[in-house]
Amino acid sequence: MPDSQPTLKAINLSKRYGQARYIIQDFSYTFPRGTATGLSGPNGSGKTTLLRMLTTAAYPTTGNIFWGDIDIHQQPHRYLSATGFAFDSTELPQFANTDELLEVILRARGLWDDTESPKKISALLELLALDERRKTLIGTYSSGMMQKTLLAAALITEPPLILLDEPFRALDVETRTALTDYLNHRKKNFGDTIIISSHLPEIVERLCDQVLQFPLDSGEAESEAES
């Protein structure tokens, strides 16, 4: 496993909206490199709120999140260039196909290679069972195909940090298995850090090395995560 990957840390993290109660309060945690951390708990317990802060889509009320020595909310560009994430709420371009979308992502990150990138796209779309519809407009996709496209967009750059919010919800059993195997391969062989929320216990069992239970207790520490 590579030793060069930074570590993601939340330090005294709290979040509330307006004057409402804290959704997350005084939370500190180090996400171990080369492992998958599961986020488990009922809807509305703070899982998506934490993931939104980890993607810089939301700011903490207090506290900080560091990726190595980078405060992710102070230097989001450097951090997000190393991050892949998929949320149900993410909007996809309706009048592009998946091939075009993934090429744009790779070119925007400066990762496009005329020889290797098309092969990488084909391999990922085959893994996600999207290869037969790769030239079809995304706007015509079913919910399951939309979910697969979001995952392809998150994973195509092979990011060292992967953040996924209920990624298996609309997937068929075969694709769930293939994706779980792929993520296990990435963390074990490339040292990727994976953070994932899921209501599917079989996925959590097969993929996650530790699980954070939500709602989080105030000041929950790394040692309190179930492993």
| Count of alpha carbons within 13 angstroms of residue 57, beta-carbon side | 13
CB neighbours (10 Å) of residue 68?
Answer: 14
Mean pLDDT of 72-82: 95
Percent of the chain with pLDDT over 70: 93
Q: What is the pLDDT of residues 12-63, one digit of tens each?
A: 999 998 888 899 999 999 999 999 999 999 988 999 999 999 999 999 999 9
pLDDT of residue 135: 95
Is 85 in a helix, a strand, or coil? strand
CA angle 201, 173, 159 (to 5 degrees): 75
Locate the domains of the chain by residue range. Answer: 1-82+160-169+191-227, 90-158
Q: For residue 74, give the amino acid letter.
A: Q
Res. 221 pLDDT band, cuts 50 70 90: very low
Q: What is the pLDDT of residues 92-146, one digit of tens each?
A: 999 999 999 999 999 999 999 999 999 999 999 999 999 999 999 999 999 999 9
The answer to whether residue 154 scores a pLDDT higher than 70 is yes
Separation between Cα atoms, residue 80 and residue 58, nearest integer Å: 14
Q: For the chain, what is the mean pLDDT? A: 92
Tokens of 194: 């994976």
Mean pLDDT of 181-185: 98
The answer to whether residue 177 scores a pLDDT higher than 60 is yes
pLDDT of residue 20: 84
Separation between Cα atoms, residue 182 and residue 159, nearest integer Å: 13
CATH code, residues 1-82+160-169+191-227: 3.40.50.300
